[in-house]
Amino acid sequence: MSATAETLAISTETREFLSRTHKLFINGQWVDATSGETLGIIDPATEAQISEIQLASTDDVDKAVIAAQAAFKGEWSKINSHQRTKLMLKLADLIDENIQTLAELEVLDNGLPMMLAEYTISGYASDFIRYYAGWCTKIHGDTIPVSPAGVANGESLTYTRREPVGVVGAIIPWNAPIAMLALKLAPALATGCTMVIKPAEITPLTALKVMELVKEAGIPDGVVNLVPGYGEVAGAAISSHPDIKKVSFTGSTAVGQKIVEAALGNLKKVSLELGGKSPVVVFPDADIEAVTMGAIRAAFFLQGQNCMAGTRLFVHQDIFDQVIQNVAGVASQMKIGPGLDPSSQLGPLISADQRSRVMSYVQAGKDEGAELICGGNQLDRKGFFMEPTLFTHAHQDVKIAREEIFGPVLFAQPFGDSDLETIAAEANKSIYGLSGSVWTKDIAVGLKMASLIDSGQVSVNCHAAVDPAIPFGGNKMSGWGREFGQEGLEPYLKTKATTVLFSQPPF
């Protein structure tokens, strides 16, 4: 019998957490939603309901904003940068200490394999918070040499201060819930902002658990508020709220566009990390074994439900057949199963709807004449599983090469002995520009090609290198702005320039 989530052990703490009907976290308290509405949380590996949440209404978002504003003007504004660092480090430690429960919740909620859940928590979320904890004490303005209104040199002083923008809204997707939470939370706390966070309604569990840890860490009430709810209700309320000064969004391009429209009312700052259709460009001298595993990871990490996914594989014609054969060989041997089973390499897709959507792309690929090399089927068992799928075609004139699928579907195309500009033009034939990779042993080719690829991030001989210090974000329809690194602090800060004249101007 293959393992199912029911047959796999989870801790007593996780069971107890799941048994609750989860409330909203506002002003440091667990409060009932005014909507009275609840939503069952589904384990995508079993299709069983595993927990239940209350859903935030527009009124609940208002309450959360009021709490965040009070904290911003009150206790949080008095806490100095060293204390902020300590609080953030405490939170990061608590996340690590609770890794078992957090990882089990993430796997049950999202479906990803346990090993990846553990990585996204201790190798990513907590380290992300630690990285930004270090920035709290290093945010400062400048002194600027000026002579306003013609005063003599040295007769004035202009300095800038970097101030937190205020209450920040964070709208989070379902594909990597705790990692996405950490990457919104960390720069907001580091800069001294307060927050109203909306997790994706279908994957709120780790965010709910992290709120307990926020409280335990001693972060003052009202600094971090969590309002699980529907995108069109709670998400729209955040995007349009007049007292929210900035929204940080990760999700689909279509929803990103709605957020921009909603943000017009008070001209809040918006940062968007949106869709992708990233190229993986393989030259004939590349290490084929590394390319094979790199292409597999690029395309199928998180079941392909990953904005950075390398879903367009361009391989030089001399090694195309071999690479395709290798990738298909590994893909068709991948162990598909519930994330709680340690042997699973590929979990279920997030929902029945998502799998139907992805399967409709598989059908479109077949209908448009792309060649199906492996996969293409959903599994005949409980859970939203499907096979990793590889198509090839001579041109990108098919829908599966153009549109973001957000599932385990890889499109591969050969290229000939063209110049790098021509190859890059093919790789750039997308409305998106988030990530990309180049595979070659020739450093000059690798770096030249990397410079020609129109995306926010390019890796050479790996795909989508991620570290809290590496700026991340997209060009074209993949978004606005950059997260991570020093640049990731910018959207949470505003500059105030102050000038004093030591003597009166001559006119």
**What positions carry a catalytic annotation?**
273, 307
d(CA 418, CA 108): 47
Using rule CB under 6 A, residue 235 touches ligand ADP: yes
Distance in angstroms (rounded) separating the CA atoms of residues 191 and 180: 18
Alpha-carbon separation of residue 171 from 124, 255, 283, 421, 451 (angstroms): 19, 10, 39, 38, 32
Q: What whole-number distance in Å separates Cα of residue 455 and Cα of residue 462?
A: 15
Q: Which is nearer to ligand ADP, 258 or 316 (CB)?
A: 258
Least distance from ligand ADP to the Cβ atom of residue 48, Å = 21
| E strand segments, 172-305 | 194-198, 224-226, 246-250, 269-273, 278-282
CA-to-CA distance for 476 and 491, rounded, in angstroms? 19
Could you say whether residue 181 binds ligand ADP (CB under 6 A)?
no
Q: Is the dihedral of CA 277, 410, 471, 456 positive or negative?
A: negative
Tokens 């940080």, residue located:
248
Stretch that binds ligand ADP, among 74-82, 233-241, 373-381, 471-479 (CB under 6 A): 233-241
**Taking CB under 6 A as the criterion, which residues in 192-211 touch ligand ADP?**
198, 200-201
**Cβ 487 to ligand ADP shortest distance, Å:** 23
For ligand ADP, the binding residues in 244-273 under the rule CB under 6 A are 251-252, 255, 258-259
- Residue 95 or 255 with smaller CB distance to ligand ADP: 255
Name the residue among 246, 214, 387, 421 with its Cα closest to residue 303.
387
231 binds ligand ADP (CB under 6 A): yes
Q: How far is the CB of 204 from ligand ADP (least distance, A)?
A: 9
| Smallest gap from residue 259 Cβ to ligand ADP (A) | 5
Q: 186, 88 in Cβ contact below 8 A?
A: yes
- DSSP 8-state symbol, 346: B
Answer yes or no whether residue 236 interacts with ligand ADP by CB under 6 A.
yes
Record the tokens describing residue 70, joined without a space: 């009070």
Q: Which stretch binds ligand ADP (CB under 6 A): 33-41, 80-88, 150-158, 171-179?
A: 171-179
List the beta bridge partners of residue 438.
Answer: 281, 460
How many whole angstroms separate alpha carbon 438 and alpha carbon 462?
8
Whether the CB-CB separation of 456 and 478 falls below 8 Å is answered with yes
Give the full edge-to-edge strand order of the sheet including 389-392.
371-374, 389-392, 409-415, 310-316, 278-282, 437-439, 459-460
Closer residue to ligand ADP in complex, CB, 18/233: 233
Q: Is residue 347 at the binding interface for ligand ADP, with CB under 6 A as the rule?
A: no
Please report whether residue 171 would count as binding ligand ADP according to CB under 6 A: yes
131 or 249: CB nearest ligand ADP: 249
Cβ 400 vs Cβ 411: under 8 Å: yes
Does residue 240 interact with ligand ADP by CB under 6 A? no
Beta strands in 82-155 (DSSP E): 143-144
Q: Which is nearer to ligand ADP, 315 or 386 (CB)?
A: 386
Nearer CB in complex with ligand ADP: 251/376:
251
H/E stretch holding 319 reads helix 317-333
Residue closer to ligand ADP, measured from CB, 169 or 222 = 169
Q: Do 50 and 383 meet the contact criterion of CB atoms below 8 Å apart?
A: no
The nearest distance, CB 197 to ligand ADP, in angstroms, is 10
Q: Which stretch binds ligand ADP (CB under 6 A): 71-79, 232-240, 319-327, 426-434?
A: 232-240
Total residues contacting ligand ADP by CB under 6 A comes to 16
Identify residues 306-345 at the interface with ligand ADP (CB under 6 A): none
| Three-class secondary structure of residue 315 per DSSP | strand
CB 307 within 8 A of CB 405: no
In 3D space, the residue among 360, 349, 340 whose CA is nearest the CA of residue 304 turns out to be 349
Report, in Å, the least distance between residue 318 CB and ligand ADP. 39
Report, in Å, the least distance between residue 201 CB and ligand ADP: 5
What amino acid occupies position 13? E
405 binds ligand ADP (CB under 6 A): no
Query: Among residues 28, 111, 113, 173, which is the contact residue for ligand ADP, using CB under 6 A?
Result: 173
Contact with ligand ADP (CB under 6 A): which of 239, 303, 306, 430?
Answer: 239
**Using the rule CB under 6 A, which residue among 10, 88, 172, 270 binds ligand ADP?**
172
Please count the CA atoms within 13 angstroms of the CA of 18 that sit on its side-chain side: 22
The least distance separating ligand ADP from the CB of residue 175, rounded to whole angstroms, comes to 7
Residue 281 binds ligand ADP, judged by CB under 6 A: no
Contact window for ligand ADP (CB under 6 A) among 205-213, 235-243, 330-338, 361-369: 235-243
Residue 232 binds ligand ADP (CB under 6 A) = yes
Residues engaged in binding ligand ADP (CB under 6 A) = 171-173, 198, 200-201, 231-232, 235-236, 239, 251-252, 255, 258-259
